[in-house]
Amino acid sequence: MYRNRLEAGKTLYEIIKERGLDKSLSFVFAVPRGGVEVAYPIAKGLGKPIIPILVHKVPSSINEEFAIGAISVAGEMLLNEYAQGEKREYIDKIKKEMLLKLSERQDFFGVKCNFEDVKGKEVLIVDDGIATGETIYLAVLSVKRYEPSRTVVAVPVSSLEGYERMSQLGEVICPIVDRYFYAVSEYYEEFGQLSDIEARRYIEESLKFGE
């Protein structure tokens, strides 16, 4: 159990230091919004800015809270088995809508990365927890296509299913892996909804770390 996301981030940073990764990591990516807050103490310790990596769940046409996949700001889309019942027209429509939202959010956060610089470097990708892992899975795939030499995912908590899925893509740092996982929020005493404005404040503050 973590007190809040910042405490969770400090816990992850200590593990990163123990593994000697603080000497080799070149980039700190975070999935907004909660992942940015977790990444803040890590970025501060590493002296690296936080780069938001924008992905969004693709909602079902029946229930917008239910994910049928995920999409990245680059237009990459991963659909799960629940998308099979959706019409092609809906998928095309929601993809266009999600891409517009992601592009607007990227402009709002104001930090973009030249992903070509990632090639041959060690990168860290942070989120506040993994349930099914669809969004962070796509985030990692989006980064890996630029051929980093090492990809490390750091999350405070994960379902067993999510952990095993992420482990197929690279190294995963996760202090709590729960076979009986219910929800990410259950592992935090404080798990308030972070706004885009608050996430941007963390990102802007982190830009000073590399100075």
Residues 161 and 64 in one domain: no
Same domain flag for 16 and 77: no
- What's the mean pLDDT in 143-167? 95
Looking at the fold, whether 151 and 132 belong to one and the same domain comes out as yes
Contact 178, 157 (CB under 8 A): yes
Cα gap 173→81, rounded to integer Å: 27
Average pLDDT, the chain: 92
Q: What is the pLDDT of residue 211?
A: 59
Q: How far apart are CA 146 and CA 178, in angstroms?
A: 31
One domain for residues 175 and 124: yes
**Per-residue pLDDT, 134:** 83
Confidence of residue 121 (pLDDT cuts 50, 70, 90): very high
Contacts with 61 (C-beta within 8 Å, 6 or more apart), sequence order = 86, 87, 90, 94
CB 21 within 8 A of CB 186: no
Tell me, yes or no, whether 24 and 91 share the same domain.
no
Domain identity same for 37 and 76: no
pLDDT reported for residue 201: 96
Query: Which range has highest mean pLDDT (2-11, 87-96, 114-123)?
Result: 2-11
pLDDT, residue 81, reads 85
Residue 16 or residue 115, greater confidence: 16
* The token pair that represents 194 in the structure block: 């972070």
Could you give the 3-state DSSP secondary structure of residue 152?
strand
CATH of the domain at 138: 3.40.50.2020
- 156 in a structural domain: yes
Backbone φ, ψ for residue 207 (5° rounding) = -65, -20
Number of domains present in the structure of the chain: 2
Report whether 154 contacts 12 (CB < 8 A). yes
Q: Are residues 66 and 42 in the same domain?
A: no
Please name which of 62, 66, 60 lies closest in space to residue 94, comparing C-alpha atoms.
60
Q: Could you report how far apart the first and last alpha carbons of the chain are, in Å?
A: 34
CATH code, domain carrying 86: 3.30.1310.20
Question: Which of the residue ranges 89-93, 124-128, 206-210 would you say has the lowest mean pLDDT?
Answer: 206-210
CA contacts within 13 A on the Cβ side of 211: 6
Question: How many Å apart are CA 42 and CA 44, to the nearest integer?
Answer: 5
Indicate if the pLDDT at residue 70 is higher than 70.
Answer: yes
pLDDT of residue 127: 96
198 occurs within a structural domain: no
Domain that holds residue 88: 56-102
Confidence (pLDDT) at 209: 87
Average pLDDT of 18-26?
Answer: 95
DSSP 130: B
**How would you class 193 by CB atoms within 10 Å of its CB: exposed for 0-12, middle for 13-18, buried for 19 or more?**
exposed
Overall average pLDDT of the 143-147 stretch: 91
The answer to whether residue 206 is domain-embedded is: no
**Domain shared by 13 and 49, yes or no:** yes
Task: Indicate whether 44 belongs to any domain.
Answer: yes
Q: By 3-state DSSP, what share of the chain in percent is helix, strand and coil, each rounded to 5?
A: 45, 20, 35
Tell which residue, 130, 189, 192, has the closest CA to residue 164. Answer: 130
